Amino acid sequence: MNDTAQRVHDLYWNKNWNCARTTLACLGETFGVAIAEQTLQAATGMHGAGKFRAQCGLVEGALMFLGVIGAESEKSDKDVESLCRDFAEIFTARFGSLLCRDLRPGGFLPSDPPHACETLTVEAITMAERYLKNAGFPPKQR
């Protein structure tokens, strides 16, 4: 299991975090950016808008992180907005949609196994890490 897969597994199974919080935490660790507790709390309902199956929390977490790292890197709001749009296009091309209802067509059912999106989460975070590196944000040295 690679570092991202292990961290996703730990956050899902030990903290019971959703995909948005997990994405924020993983990206923060990879890029050496502290994520404020208040920001993590803000992402509590961002897994398809509280299971409504709207925009996927994997996208929302990455977009929130782009805002955090962009501000820390002194990017303009316009630059961050452009990065977010570009990321959304790349995410859609890779996964087919930004919507939880498309990425998780069965919704959130009581019969679902716990953390059904764990594999998708690892793939999405890995893609976001590559995107950020290519956008000029260097990861921290491990």
pLDDT category at 39 given cuts 50, 70, 90 is very high
Residue 105 has pLDDT above 80, yes or no: no
Q: Looking at residues 126-131, what average pLDDT do you find?
A: 98
Nearest alpha-carbon partner for 71 in 36, 20, 95, 111: 36
Predicted structure pTM score: 0.93
Residue 112 has pLDDT above 90, yes or no: no
Q: Is residue 139, in this structure, part of any structural domain at all?
A: no
Q: Is residue 126, in this structure, part of any structural domain at all?
A: yes
Q: How far apart are CA 28 and CA 21, in angstroms?
A: 11
- Number of domains within the chain: 1
Q: How far apart are the first and last CA of the chain?
A: 16
Q: Is residue 52, in this structure, part of any structural domain at all?
A: yes
Q: DSSP class of residue 34?
A: P
Instruction: For residue 87, give the H/E element and its range.
Output: helix 77-95
SS3 99: strand
Q: Is residue 141, in this structure, part of any structural domain at all?
A: no
Q: Is residue 65, in this structure, part of any structural domain at all?
A: yes
Residue 67 structural domain: 3-134
Residue 49 has pLDDT above 90, yes or no: no
Q: Is residue 117, in this structure, part of any structural domain at all?
A: yes
